[in-house]
Structure 1
Amino acid sequence: MVEENELLATLKQFTGSEQFARLTRTVVLTEGARYLAETVECFWLFDLYASHLSGVDCNKDWFTCLKLTRTNRSASVSIEDGNDRVLAKQNIEYTDFPLPAITLYGCWAGEFWVLMLTSEY
């Protein structure tokens, strides 16, 4: 597993994406999001995000953000509209996610959601 400081430094280097990786029929990952998912084996986090996005009215809420906060080996996840309005919440009983917190963005691109690191927005 990669060290926290090394992971954070690497994630900051992602500032855009030339390629998307398909997660589901209606959700793609940027290069940085895919790097995170592969490096720390957290595809579950992006699956969680995607599952909650299926219920979001993309005409009204075209921008969302996922906020994960880890406490010991559990975590809480909230998906918001970017203005602190909570669209969904979920508790994770056990996780080995290496960071104490992370925020991800999801933007509706007309035909699919693009999930990305905050530095890629």
Structure 2
Amino acid sequence: MTLTQAELDAFNGTDNIYQHSLGNIYYTDGVKYLATQGQAFWLLDAIASYQTPQLLSQQDLAEFQLWQLTVAPDKSAVLTCQSDSNNEPVVTQNIPYTDFPLTTIKLYLADQILLLPSEY
């Protein structure tokens, strides 16, 4: 089964909140579906690994973060984090290869809960 954006857009709210194994963030049913169907638990791990005091002290990132993964045709990708879509990224991670099934995905981290834009 291939993950589609339409499947993710169908999530509106959540019934469950899951704690990430690092213990510093939580995520919704939609994000769990993304990670399971897209085989992308690594993406949750990457986002959780950046939740450091240094990052959280910048541009109100303790309250809200916009994360975006953009996959290039050669299957390399860039993961960015910013406090708002109008601000420059405070995190930019180059990923040499991914088999992530979508060309782009945005996730919000609001008050330590990672969610899909449709769940916000």
Matched, 1:49 2:54: no
| Alpha-carbon spacing, 1:59–1:100, altered in 2? closer, same or farther (3 Å) | closer
Superposition map of 1:8-23 within 5 A = 8-23=5-20
- Asked whether the 8 Å contact 2:60–2:83 carries over to 1, the reply is no
Aligned partners of 1:118 and 1:32: how far apart in 2? 10
Contact 2:59 2:83 (8 Å CA) reproduced: no
* Counterpart Cα distance in 1 of 2:60 and 2:97: 33
TM-score, length-scaled by structure 2: 0.87
Question: RMSD of the TM alignment (CA)?
Answer: 1.7
Distance 1:85 1:50 in 2: 20
- In 1: Cα distance, 2:90 partner to 2:58 partner: 12
Aligned length: 114
Equivalent residue letter for 1:77:
L
Task: Give runs of ≥4 in structure 1 deviating > 6 Å.
Answer: none
Q: Which runs of 5+ in 2 are unaligned?
A: none
TM (normalized to structure 1)?
0.86
Is contact 2:38-2:101 (8 Å) kept?
yes
Bigger mean CA deviation after superposition, 9-18 or 89-98: 9-18
Evaluate the alpha carbon distance shift between residue 41 and residue 76 of structure 1 in structure 2; reply closer, same or farther with a 3 A threshold. Answer: same
Find the residue that maps to 2:49 and give its secondary structure: helix
Residue 71 of structure 2 corresponds to 70
Provide structure 1 residue ranges, at least 5 long, that are not aligned to the other structure: none
Q: Percent of aligned positions with the same letter in both sequences?
A: 34
